[in-house]
């Protein structure tokens, strides 16, 4: 029996985030592999064709971790593939690339002034974005951190002081971005049914976070909570 070595873990493949295409003919999913150079993971999109029962690779740049189907049965994902876009990404802008399930070159289609960590296609063709928002972005110093709330640290997240997960509805056609709640409300765990968004959230600011978040219902058509 061959012993397990450190490099053995670099050969692992992790499948995640499977979703049916809107027309129901394919399943897209992410395959992530460990990367020693970046001390992280490289993620690409793959497709399973339900009719042909075949698997094909769609992307190969290792930057397609955050993605969604579109209403037109194409795929979009967040990436920054030029030096200029990478610089803008560091300043908090996210770029959406679109690619055909049959392959080809992905093209940059849109951008939003926010750090997107999740995308979901809504029934009306818009997208529900999960955004990591830093309320102290413009005042943070590189030499020290200010802690004025608890908790201020999260495992795998680093410093979380004044940072919140936010939900926003994005219309790619009109480039309109509408936030569901204010910048100090921490959102998590949602479910979509028709034009209704049910989500868990905890509004708090510069204090101790409680243990009893609320459950909210947001109307995607009217924008009312």
The pLDDT, as a whole number, for residue 103 is: 81
The pLDDT, as a whole number, for residue 218 is: 98
11 lies in a domain?
no
Positive/negative CA dihedral, 160, 31, 67, 71? negative
The pLDDT, as a whole number, for residue 1 is: 72
Q: Which residues contact 108 (CB under 8 A, 6 or more apart)?
A: 81, 85, 95, 96, 97
61 lies in a domain?
no
| Per-run averaged pLDDT (10 residues), the chain, 225 residues | 83 96 98 93 97 96 97 97 95 97 92 98 98 90 85 86 96 97 95 97 87 92 96
The pLDDT, as a whole number, for residue 9 is: 86
Q: Which of 54, 107, 101 shows the shortest CA–CA distance to 73? A: 101
36 lies in a domain?
no
The pLDDT, as a whole number, for residue 209 is: 83
What is the number of structural domains in the chain? 1
CA separation for the pair 146, 216 (Å, rounded): 31
166 lies in a domain?
yes
87 lies in a domain?
no
151: preceding bond cis by omega (within 30 degrees) = yes
177 lies in a domain?
yes
193 lies in a domain?
yes
Whole-structure pTM value? 0.91
Q: 171 lies in which domain range?
A: 116-224
Q: Which residues contact 80 (CB under 8 A, 6 or more apart)?
A: 63, 86, 88, 89, 95
CA separation for the pair 120, 170 (Å, rounded): 10
CA separation for the pair 52, 120 (Å, rounded): 26
The pLDDT, as a whole number, for residue 2 is: 78
103 lies in a domain?
no
For residues 173 and 98, the answer to whether their CB atoms sit within 8 Å is no
């Amino acid at each position: 029996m061959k012993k397990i070595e450190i490099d053995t873990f670099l050969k692992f493949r992790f499948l995640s985030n499977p979703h049916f295409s809107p027309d129901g003919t394919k399943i897209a999913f992410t395959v992530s592999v460990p990367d020693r150079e970046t001390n992280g993971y490289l993620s690409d999109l793959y497709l399973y064709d339900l009719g042909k029962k075949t698997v094909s690779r769609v992307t190969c740049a290792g930057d397609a971790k955050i993605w969604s189907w579109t209403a037109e049965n194409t795929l979009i994902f967040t990436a920054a593939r030029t030096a200029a876009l990478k610089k803008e990404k560091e300043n908090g802008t996210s770029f959406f690339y679109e690619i055909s399930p049959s392959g080809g070159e992905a093209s940059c289609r849109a951008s939003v002034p926010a750090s997107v960590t999740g995308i979901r296609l809504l029934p009306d063709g818009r997208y529900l974005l999960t955004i990591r928002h830093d309320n102290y972005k413009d005042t943070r110093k590189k030499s020290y951190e200010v802690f004025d709330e608890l908790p201020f640290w999260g495992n795998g997240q680093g410093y979380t002081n004044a940072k919140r997960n936010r939900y926003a509805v994005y219309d790619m056609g009109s480039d309109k971005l509408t936030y569901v709640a204010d910048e100090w409300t921490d959102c998590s765990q949602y479910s979509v049914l028709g034009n209704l968004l049910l989500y868990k959230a905890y509004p708090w600011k510069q204090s101790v976070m409680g243990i009893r978040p609320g459950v909210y219902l947001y109307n995607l058509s009217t924008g009312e909570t």
